[in-house]
Amino acid sequence: MNDPLKSTKKDAPSADDLSQQIENLRADLMKLTETISDDVSGEIRKAGRQINQTGRDAQATATNAVVGHPLTAVGIAAGIGLLLGMMARKG
């Protein structure tokens, strides 16, 4: 009959086999870490470019609004200044 203990001992990997498997796992983890790091870095750079573009667009829109309607811009700035001055005086 088949003895389960004998078949288990026969199939047990050696210490060298385990060491090699651990080294292979380490190498695979390093490759995975590199890939993930590269992907994340690329996405961060892409998001940074989008944020910069959005900021430039907002600046251009504000500049065009002020140039197109200078009296309105001065009135809004004066109103905001008045409100901030009143809030600062009460605080």
- Please say whether the beta carbons of 66 and 73 come within 8 A: yes
Answer yes or no: is 30 within a domain.
yes
Task: Check residue 6 and give its pLDDT.
Answer: 53
**Number of independent structural domains in the chain:** 1
Task: Check residue 63 and give its pLDDT.
Answer: 94
Answer yes or no: is 4 within a domain.
no
Task: Check residue 91 and give its pLDDT.
Answer: 66
Structural domain including 80 reads 15-90
Task: Check residue 15 and give its pLDDT.
Answer: 84
Mean pLDDT split into 10-residue runs, the chain, 91 residues: 53 84 93 90 94 96 94 95 93 66
User: What is the C-alpha separation between 26 and 35, in angstroms, rounded?
Assistant: 14
- Please say whether the beta carbons of 45 and 37 come within 8 A: no
Geometric angle at alpha carbon 16, from 10 and 21, rounded to 5°: 95
Local structure of 13: helix, strand or coil: coil
Answer yes or no: is 49 within a domain.
yes
Answer yes or no: is 83 within a domain.
yes
- Please say whether the beta carbons of 65 and 73 come within 8 A: yes
Answer yes or no: is 3 within a domain.
no
Answer yes or no: is 1 within a domain.
no
Answer yes or no: is 56 within a domain.
yes
